[in-house]
Structure 1
Amino acid sequence: MPGSVRAARVLAFVAAGFAVLGAVVAGALAGPAAAGAALGSAMPVIGVFTCALCFARSGAGAKVTAIAFAAFMILFGIGALGRGIPAGIVQAGLGIAIVVSLSQRQSGDWFRRP
């Protein structure tokens, strides 16, 4: 697995960890409704995480799906920033890094392998 794909995979795992941690903290501080809202805003992160689990054995479909979910991560992160939630910059930044990592030629060659 090339370094760019491995980096995107690690970033997806980190983003999923942040999403779960954010939902737990929101639930502890503000109740179950806040935990549900935090988990709902992290749905693209869960999608990228699911795709990242399949990077080692999947084809180009996993790459395209992960890029689409990462684009939604960027949009949700910018939306969180617009609502005044500073943690949205982390989600947007991780989404940008995942898109850039998966858009490189090395990752394209990896996902086109037989």
Structure 2
Amino acid sequence: MLKHPKLMRKVQEELTEIVGLNTSVEEGHFPKLKYLEAIVKEIFRLHPPIPLLVPHGPSKSTTVAGYTIPKGAQIFLNVFAIHRDPQLREDPSEFKPERFLEGSSA
């Protein structure tokens, strides 16, 4: 957040508006904190806590995108690479929490 002071101010404004200055954040506030939620999602998109998902494997040999995957092979999904693929996301290396807000085209 220190690299993005405008975004930090926006979250502070949201917290002040929804929670107030003299109370602590409570569970009931979370559904209303949409921008904070978008920031958390964007952080986990760029820095997933588990970059490779639990291995999976086909129950029979199959072909995917021209590659033969034999029965019993271990398949790892690279979440880190998927979230940074420019074919799947616009500006995938940029920190843009707005992409998770409803009605956003980011």
Please tell me the TM-score bracket, short chain as reference: 0.3 to 0.5
Which structure has more strand as a fraction of its residues? Answer: 2
> RCO higher in 1 or 2 (8 Å CA, sep ≥ 6)?
1
Bigger radius of gyration among the two:
2
Larger proportion of helix: 1
